[in-house]
Structure 1
Amino acid sequence: MPQKILITGGSGLVGTRLSEMLIDQGYEVAHLSRQPSKFSKYKTFRWDIKEGYIDENAITYADYIIHLAGAGVADEKWTEERKQEILKSRVDSANLLYSCLQKSDHHVKGFISASAIGIYGNSGDNVVSEESILADDFLAEVCKAWEASSWQINTLGLRTVILRLGIVLSDKGGALPQLARPVKMMAGAPLGTGNQYMSWIHIDDVCRLFIRAIEDTQFEGVYNAVAPHPVTNKEFTKELAEVMHKPLVLPKVPVFALNLVLGQKSGVVLDSQRVSANKVLQTGFTFEYNYLDEALESFYDKKY
């Protein structure tokens, strides 16, 4: 019997690719969605986080739950209302799953949740690991609350894994197309000082890591989901320009200009995060894309 995987946030960037890869590997996949569409490729159960509603058949269907739901951090301006939504969409959804798992007669064997390396805040050149001190800015507080709400599920005796995602590289969405756009228009430049570290991971490696966390029971607790070789923003921009065969013409984009455009969100691109992949490597997991040039070539080399 194929294992059945229930995914929240299944139509997002990671959820879409993960669903495809799970199917390719012989799993069955279902999504939880606010508005199940008749045209979805996947079996879809309805839930409504604001209403505190979840179709109980979803929980009894699943062998494993992968929790990716959460309002996009970089999608909109950070008004107070939006910040509340970023927080509540993650925490309330995990709380809802927890209370349903508590009440229902299910056969779920494990719960795997996303989090983010934003939990470490701006750590400059210091290498941070899962044991490092956590920050207390807005994104870090969101991640802490998100992880706490997910970790409750461990108290129900379910193996719980939390993957702190770095910058997920994909040409289908997320940060990469936004970083590539100015380069494509011959206006590429490092952001801010350009010395801030970017801890990135190829989308296929993220998905392979989620699948590994299902299959390998030694996975429990928190892991950084980042490739082993973080780069500075300057190096990232340079490699991207090289792969796209474009020149880098501009000097650095100054910090004040980014603050003007992005407001509070500027931390997302200006904070330095040099995150260690050692804990994941020690499980025996191997990355398909260890170095940035390999990852970028997988998206852009064919096109240019």
Structure 2
Amino acid sequence: MGVARPFACAGLTAWRGWRAYCGGMAIIVTGASGLLGSALVEALRADGQEVVKLVRRPPRADDEAFWQPAEQTVDRAALEGAEAVVHLAGASIGDRRWTEAYKRELVTSRVEGTRLLAGALGELSRPPEVFLSASGMDFYGSTGDRVIDETHGRGEGFLAGLCEVWEGEARRAGDAGIRTVQARTAMVLSGRGGALGRMLPIFRIGMGAPLGSGKQYWSWISVDDWVGAARHVLKNREVEGPVNFASPSPVTNAEFTRTFGKALHRSTMPIPAPAFALSAGLGEFAREGLLSSHRLEPRKLLDSGFRFSHTRLDEALTAVL
């Protein structure tokens, strides 16, 4: 959302300082070009909300500000007086094979940025009311068919450890008195990409199949409900700490496969893809990302009055496709 500068020659930093001094209340978003960030920014701006995107290149407009997590640098004038900060930046979990180098990138891309933001927010003279930081359902590890709400502890595995460290950095903002929410996000259903986008080509040619036993639970959430949940927790001052961003209706992988095929009017393969073959081809990601079981309950969202638009998988897939 472009906003005219009060003094054309003052530059972006001076303009943001002036906005903060005069009471401008922007929402700051990292990862704004990603699947979730772009959808959230679009929705916030449709509400008439001013949004400033943190970018890792020289800003090109008034709605951008510079940050560089690797150098622990951020434009603090952009953060001063903000209403909220939403932190979604991080390397994609499923785009590449997990070499040791890429696992380090997965960690540093989350930890460095979160540490920088949480530390900077705690030092502001006018900090935001809320810091919403991304996390993942993988915090719980593989939990079989047990229903898991936010009271359950950390599970086992690389991703569980990553989420624990990631959330620990976010809590630095909470220690400074800022209401902090960690969004433990399930698989997001969107027609614009993400996990669903990676599966679409396979299912469209009728080659979709259950993975491994197919009995593992897949928790999911439509992109519209994820955006709605984010807006809900930003406004609801009673919500803080870890929050499961997941539909209240998780399904098994076998059920997901059948429902996805029907949504595309395609048949699916009757023979599952063997777990050993997936592990051989995709390594650790297959074991933790595809074959693990997550049966999440969004207890905090439901208890705080949030109402999902899509609680049935078939309806959600129809909506996003």
Contact 1:240 1:296 in 2 (8 A): yes
Aligned to 2:295: 274
**Over alpha carbons, which structure has the higher Rg?**
2
1:111 aligns with 131
Give the 3 Å change call, closer, same or farther, for CA 204–80 of structure 1 in structure 2. same
Q: In the alignment, what sits opposite 2:206?
A: 186
Name 1:294's counterpart in structure 2: 315
SS of 1:160's equivalent?
strand
1:274 is paired with a residue whose SS is coil
Q: After superposition, give the CA deviation of every residue in 1:61-103 in whole Å (9 maximum; x if it has no partner).
A: 5210001111111111111111111111111111111222233
**1:111–1:153 CA contact under 8 A, matched in 2:** yes
Give the SS at the match of 2:114.
helix
**Contact 2:210–2:271 (CA under 8 A) maintained in structure 1:** yes
Aligned equivalents of 1:199, 1:170: Cα separation in 2: 14
Matches within 5 A, 1:242-253: 242-253=262-273
1:170 aligns with 2:171: no
Is the alpha carbon distance of 1:2 and 1:99 closer, same or farther for their aligned partners in structure 2, counting shifts above 3 Å? closer
CA contact (8 A) 1:197 1:231 kept: yes
Q: Does the Cα contact within 8 Å between 1:180 and 1:240 map onto a contact in 2?
A: no
Q: 1:20 to 1:154 in 2, by over 3 A?
A: same
Aligned counterpart for 2:278 among listed residues 233, 258, 261: 258
Q: How does 1:167-246 map to 2 (within 5 A)?
A: 167-246=187-266
Which range moved further: 103-112 or 11-20?
A: 103-112
Unaligned runs of 5+ in 2: 1-22
Shift of 1:250: 4.2
1:133 paired with 2:153, answer yes
Residue equivalent to 1:18: 40
- Assess if the C-alpha contact under 8 Å between 2:59 and 2:66 holds in 1: no
1:155 deviates by 1.0
Aligned to 2:3: none
- Find runs of 4+ consecutive structure 1 residues off by over 4 angstroms: none
Distance change (3 Å), C-alpha of 1:34 and 1:61: farther
Helix, strand or coil: the match of 2:276? helix
1:27-63 C-alpha deviation (Å, 9 max, x unpaired): 111111112463x7x7111111111111122211521
* 1:150 and 2:176 correspond: no
Distance between the aligned counterparts of 1:36 and 1:77, measured in 2?
31
Q: 2:18 maps to what in 1?
A: none
SS across alignment from 2:144: coil
Deviations 1:204-239 (A, max 9, x none): 111111111111111111111100100001000100
Q: Which amino acid aligns with 2:209?
A: A
TM-superposed CA distance for 1:3, in Å, is 3.8
Q: Secondary structure at the match of 1:106?
A: coil
Contiguous gaps of at least 5 residues in structure 1:
none
Does residue 1:4 correspond to 2:35, yes or no? no
SS at 1:252 equivalent? coil
TM-score by length of 1: 0.94
Contact kept? 1:187, 1:250, Cα under 8 Å = no
- In 2, Cα distance between equivalents of 1:43 and 1:285: 29
Deviation at 1:243, TM superposition (A): 0.9
Structure 1 CA distance for aligned equivalents of residues 246 and 140 of structure 2: 13
